[in-house]
Chains A and B, each alone.
Chain A
Amino acid sequence: MAINKSITRRNFLSNVLGSACGAALLGAGLSVYSRQTASMPALKIRPPGALDEEAFLGACVRCGQCVRDCPYDILHLAGLGEPVPLGSPYFVAREQPCRMCVDIPCVKACPTGALDHSLENIDDARMGLAVVVDEENCLACRGMRCEVCFYICPLLGEAITIDLLPKTGSGKLPRFIPVVHSDTCTGCGMCEGACVLQKSAIKVFPRYLALGQEAEKYRYDDKGEKVMDEGEADDTPFSSNPLETINRGRGSL
């Protein structure tokens, strides 16, 4: 009896240990896997109101109600093997851009708030940021009166403006450069969808990819001039004394 008992206890223990270790191993593997799959490809865009990617992946239960309620059917749930975290909603602007519905049905449909319900005006959506990625091929930039992106933009005249560069010589054309403004562009992708080239010269990227950022040590003086912050002055790589610069190991000669 006693032997039997200790055997079953040992069985029990090894069983418990086995499943506990198995679960822990699997968990560790999964957390690594989730990191590897966490990033979105640049051209896949989340629906309007989506939380920051990290928070979004904790909030979205992949129910697809946003997909169902989009009247233009632009949204997809990522299937197995797609380079988007499994089951999460996205759209591809070049195929079907977001039409910026005023009543934002996709956000209203979301039961978790992964699409933030505090987004009430679709103009405040920041799905991404359009960037003129290819001035060499952009027809307007080459002086042909295209500007299709400018005219199709739902925030006409605000998110895209055209900078006119006068012609630089005889035989040259004046150039019309579309300039996107990050404070108004919603990232809807209408411009990318409409670009007449075979491959769009204007593309919507995630904002973290599309935007630069000033170094924090700069500030502006009262005339609007950018100056070095005095407190940080010592931190600059370059000194007025070139020798000093080399000694700091930062300058290259």
Chain B
Amino acid sequence: MARRRDIGAAAVQSKGWYKSHQWLLLRRLCQLSILSLFLLGPIAGIWLIKGNLASSMILGTVPLSDPYLLLQVFLTGHIPEVTGLLGAAIVLVFYLLVSGRVYCSWVCPVNVVTDTASWLQHRLGIKARTHYSRQTRYWLLGMTLILAFATGSLVWELVNPVSIVFRGLVFGLGLGWGVIVALFLFDLLVSHRGWCGHLCPVGAFYGLIGRVSLLRVVAAKREQCNDCMDCFDVCPEPQVIRPARKGARGQRSPVIKNAMCTNCGRCIDVCSKDVFRFGLRK
């Protein structure tokens, strides 16, 4: 059977274009708004938020910090100031509620790059089949933490493409363009969903936070599923869908419990049978 190129065509037909791209549009809007808020200061002099994703301050009162970075700071043997700690706590609680990898699909700018690569791959029928385990990211995560501990320095931040891209967009990209292009080409030509789905230790860290998070995607009407596999093709972490979608026989919960689900909602969009919806972990 020839591989279908037109993922979600059935959904567009039955629900219309807008309805079948609803969450995608919302996500892009969210990512763009966050970036714009950070850029409003340097461009227009309106300082709603200062800093970048590593650490920032909203209206001079609410601090936010990246718990993954602060963990590394701890490991280097330095105790951050209270503002930094408080910021990390706020961010941590937020992601415990909405799921850690919401960071990946609703906030991180790299997601736009890798999603585009994956979309183009499907459109052009490019096979990028360098295979390595999706667990690699946990090894990389461990490596970054050990490095901080062993060297006393935030070594990972010297090369972390996620920080390079976002900090670059807010403070001046310079050669950072190269990193964006490299990520794009890597995902397009070398490895399908290679960076975000296999390697990125930032995503791995936020995934770990997501293990107990409240907000989840639920395959609520899974008995309507016609096995078109559109959700599977569009999902950046397809391994998370099967237990929820196919679990009816084994009486497994329809909730997608795997923490690596990014809550991107694309499966909700592309399903012509409305199998999925956002819900709570039960």
A binds B: yes
Cα–Cα distance between A82 and B156 once the two chains are bound (Å): 17
Complex-state Cα separation, A82 to B50, whole angstroms: 23
Verify B143–A23 contact, CB threshold 8 A: yes
Size bin of chain A's contact surface: 35 or more
Interface membership of chain A positions 28-65, coded 1 if the CB is closer than 8 angstroms to chain B and 0 otherwise:
00110110011000000000000100110111111111
| Residue B9 CB within 8 A of the other chain | no
Contacts of A55 in B (CB 8 A): 78, 152
B184 to chain A, nearest CB (A): 16
List residues of chain A with CB within 8 A of the CB of B142. 23
Does A171 reach chain B (CB closer than 8 Å)? no
Binds B, one of A91-99, A104-112, A187-195, A218-226: A104-112
Task: Judge if B76 is at the interface, Cβ distance under 8 Å.
Answer: yes
| Most chain B CB inside 10 Å of its own CB: which residue of A67, A86, A110 | A86
B1 at the interface (CB under 8 A from A): no
What A residues does B143 contact at CB under 8 A?
Answer: 23-24, 26-27
How far does the alpha carbon of A8 sit from the alpha carbon of B178 in the complex, in Å?
38
What's the Cα separation between A81 and B144 when bound, in Å? 21
Q: Are B63 and A111 in contact (CB under 8 A)?
A: yes
Complex contact A80–B168 (CB within 8 A): yes
Q: Which residue of B lies closest to A25 (CB)?
A: B143
Q: How many residues of B contact A (CB 8 A)?
A: 59
The yes or no answer to B243 lying at the interface (CB within 8 A) is: no
Query: Chain A interface secondary structure, helix, strand, loop or mixed?
Result: helix
Known A-B contacts A23-B143, A65-B57, A80-B176; the reply to A58 vs B148 at CB < 8 A is: yes
Residues of A within 8 A of B171 (CB): 64, 67, 77, 79
A19-B139, A59-B78, A111-B65 given; A80·B154 CB < 8 A? no
Residues of chain B with a CB closer than 8 A to A87's CB = 157, 163-164, 167
- B167 engages A111 (CB within 8 Å): no
Bound-state Cα–Cα, A133 to B52, Å: 38
Residues on A facing B (Cβ under 8 Å): 15-16, 18-20, 22-24, 26-27, 30-31, 33-34, 37-38, 51, 54-55, 57-65, 67-69, 77, 79-82, 85-87, 109-114, 117
- Nearest 9 CB-CB pairings of A with B: A58-B76, A23-B139, A63-B55, A111-B84, A19-B136, A79-B174, A80-B175, A27-B143, A59-B78
A-B CB contact pairs (8 Å), 23 listed? A16-B133, A23-B143, A26-B140, A27-B146, A33-B159, A54-B152, A54-B153, A55-B78, A57-B154, A58-B73, A60-B154, A61-B55, A62-B167, A63-B52, A63-B56, A64-B50, A64-B167, A79-B168, A87-B164, A111-B81, A112-B70, A113-B78, A113-B84
